Amino acid sequence: MTVNVNMPDDRWMPRLKSKISQERAFVRFLNRSTRIVDVFWINFRGQRVNYVRNTAGLCPGQYFEVNTFAGHPWIFRDRETNDKLQCGSQGQEVYFPVGWNGEFPPSRTNVLIDVPVYSLVERSMQIIRKIVCKKDIEDLEIPKPLKHQLLHPDDLPVWYPDENPECVLAEEDNDQG
């Protein structure tokens, strides 16, 4: 079998999922960007659960407090464009809560959400997606791998199991709809 390295193949990428944990974590997500943010918890099956779906999203300057658990990953996306956003001082794409230390009253960990510095390719793709209708992308005179990337943006979090061993990979689900 030949795998084209220019085309993303999600089957070979690790998928995040939450692990069962009794270790509580208290978090405050603060939107420092100029964008409206969707806040997603990655559940036990590796699926996204949008915690601000029924609201206008997390607007610039707003915060959202959540009680969660260590081993439960969180990701952030621009509501309008679905662009990846980052959190933390190291610019992580995935936030892994740290368990509560047991002190009372518990204090919340502030998680700052911001726009990353996108690569030239990522930013160019964002602009093209914004100004070119999806049906017209095939007509662009650009290489096929770039057309594929425009039509199917890689939205998988960049995550490597060695970086956070307390999180586990989702097993392939045969009952996905």
Does residue 1 contact residue 27 with C-beta atoms inside 8 Å?
Answer: no
pLDDT digits (tens, 9 = 90+) for 140-168: 999 888 888 888 776 656 544 444 444 44
User: Based on the domain organization, do 31 and 100 belong to the same domain?
Assistant: yes
DSSP sequence for 1-32: ----TTS--GGGS--EE------EEEEEEEE-
Residue 11 lies in a domain: no
Domain range for 83 = 16-117
Residue 123: helix, strand or coil by DSSP?
Answer: helix
User: Based on the domain organization, do 51 and 132 belong to the same domain?
Assistant: no
Give the helix/strand (H/E) hosting 85. none
The mean of the pLDDT values for the chain is: 81
pLDDT digits (tens, 9 = 90+) for 82-127: 889 999 878 899 999 999 988 999 999 999 999 998 889 888 888 9
Number of domains in the chain: 2
Predicted TM-score (pTM) of the model is: 0.74
Report the distance separating Cα 82 and Cα 77, nearest Å. Answer: 5
User: Based on the domain organization, do 104 and 140 belong to the same domain?
Assistant: no
